[in-house]
Amino acid sequence: MLVKISKRMIIGFIVFLCVFMVSCSTQLQLANMTVSQLPDNTEPFYKKLLVKKVVGEETSDTEKFFVGDRRINLFDLRKSITTSISKTNLFELSDLENCDYILVPIVFKNTFTGLYTITTDLGILYKLVDKKSDKVIWESRIISTDTKSISDAFVGAKRMRLVQEATLKENSKKLINEMAKIKLPKE
């Protein structure tokens, strides 16, 4: 039995495939990249903090850099950091004029490997600067890694989104945990 395939069927299949692939490659979800609780027995600092724009080795006016063939929006990365700090109430977010401290995040490592099993490594150097003295009072290199396989998501674009979200969430959690241990200078 021979099936006759018309141009209309081929075009319909291509349209279906395109719609399917687009629906699977969604934007990173902020809720999946943030943390909302401080470590146990940790009190907020009751100080004001400004989180500077995230920079990396290959930044441009569009605030994007390449991770393999995928782009990560540095604005979204900053948003995940600020949202995590805000949700945990570790610091009160502020502008440059009113802040006590400035957090400077610098991306130094961002690798992407794999096809069926995708692994990402994200390294961010964080510096906390006392605004009054203009001195770095705390510095930490935080590296986070996550892996997603075909069993986590069949479509590669979704698998890539999931691994990026998990890596960013792990990095934010490590940041909050380390910042909670900081001994701020007395006034």
Cut 0.85: pTM above it: no
Predicted confidence band at 62 (pLDDT cuts at 50, 70, 90)? very low
Q: What is the pLDDT of residues 117-163, one digit of tens each?
A: 888 888 899 999 999 999 999 999 999 999 999 888 888 778 888 88
Q: Is the pLDDT of residue 59 over 50?
A: no
Give the separation between CA 122 and CA 105, rounded to whole angstroms.
12
Predicted confidence band at 1 (pLDDT cuts at 50, 70, 90)? low
Nearest to 45 by CA among 79, 97, 88: 88
Q: What is the pLDDT of residues 88-99, one digit of tens each?
A: 999 999 999 999
pLDDT of residue 29: 81
Give the separation between CA 24 and CA 20, rounded to whole angstroms.
6
Residue that is written with structure tokens 């570790």 in the block: 90
Domains for the chain: give ranges and CATH numbers: 29-179 (3.40.50.10610)
Q: What is the pLDDT of residues 10-58, one digit of tens each?
A: 787 787 665 555 555 567 788 888 988 888 888 888 999 999 988 875 4
Average pLDDT over residues 158-182: 91
pLDDT of residue 25: 53
Cα-based distances in Å from 51 to 65, 90, 93, 99, 177: 19, 13, 8, 10, 17
